[in-house]
């Protein structure tokens, strides 16, 4: 499945300090030869970002020193509820339906690509976006990194999994289109089944944006 170039650049809209951190992430992922291995590396990067978002002093160690410079000045930190630990058991039919609903419901992924949140570099900018939860800022980081990887097509479930998390609608739409082909959804579900850390991310995003959708329905 071909990946259109995003109409707007998340990377270029980021502050210089954040772009430098993104460059380190991108270089690390580019040095990883396959998406099977890259997905593990990407999850470690996301884990380090969440630790930094929460103000954890050990965040740089989690990223093996690669994320030096990411601190509370880069993201407005806030305490998040820790995800429940997952046991990696086989999915049942209900789990399969949950994954499919998160991956392809209503032609979008919970609407998080629409928020276009760019992290503020400090608290002095009057126009800075105040980020309350890690789920608010994760799509920006994923989208900016994928944007700079410059890939032209989706070929594997691990790859589609991260394009689903992107802030770019072009990325999420390409991933959803890939999932609709043949047995790709089953391949994706197997990846989620084998990767509890990724499932936890899906659940975090669903909790954040599902609540938002419920509020909008109540207002109507």
| pLDDT at 106 (0 to 100) | 42
Grouped pLDDT means (10 residues each) for the chain, 220 residues: 93 93 95 93 95 68 45 40 38 50 45 49 49 86 96 96 96 96 96 96 89 54
DSSP for the chain reads -B-PPPSS-HHHHS-HHHHHHHHHHHHHHHTS-SHHHHHHHHHHHHHHHHHHHTT-TTHHHHTTTTTTT-STTTS-----PPPPP---PPP-HHHHHHHHHHHHGGGSSTTGGGS---B-SSS--TTPBPP-SHHHHHHHHHHHHHHHHT--B--SHHHHHHHTT-S-HHHHHHHHHHHTSTTHHHHHHHHHHH-HHHHHHHHHHHHHHHHHHHHHHHH-
Q: What is the pTM of this model?
A: 0.71
pLDDT computed for residue 119 by the predictor: 57
The pLDDT of residue 216: 54
């Amino acid at each position: 499945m071909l990946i259109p170039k995003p109409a707007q650049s998340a990377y270029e809209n980021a502050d210089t300090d954040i772009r430098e951190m993104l460059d380190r992430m991108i270089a690390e992922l580019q040095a990883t030869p396959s998406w099977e291995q890259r997905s593990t590396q990407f999850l470690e990067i996301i884990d380090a970002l969440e630790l930094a978002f929460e103000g954890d002093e050990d965040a740089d160690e989690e990223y093996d020193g690669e994320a030096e410079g990411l601190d509370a000045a880069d993201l407005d930190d806030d305490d998040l509820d820790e995800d429940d630990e997952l046991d990696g058991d086989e999915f049942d039919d209900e789990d399969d339906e949950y994954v499919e609903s998160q991956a392809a419901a209503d032609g979008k992924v919970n609407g998080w690509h629409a928020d276009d949140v760019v992290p503020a570099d400090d608290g002095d900018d009057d126009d800075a976006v105040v980020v309350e939860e890690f789920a608010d800022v994760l799509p920006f980081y994923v989208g900016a990194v994928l944007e700079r990887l410059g890939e032209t097509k989706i070929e594997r479930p691990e790859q589609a999994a991260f394009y689903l998390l992107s802030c770019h609608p072009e990325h999420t739409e390409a991933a959803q289109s890939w999932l609709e082909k043949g047995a790709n959804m089953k391949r994706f579900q197997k990846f989620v089944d084998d990767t509890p850390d990724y499932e936890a991310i899906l659940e975090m995003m669903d909790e954040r944006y599902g609540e938002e959708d419920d509020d909008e329905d109540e207002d109507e």
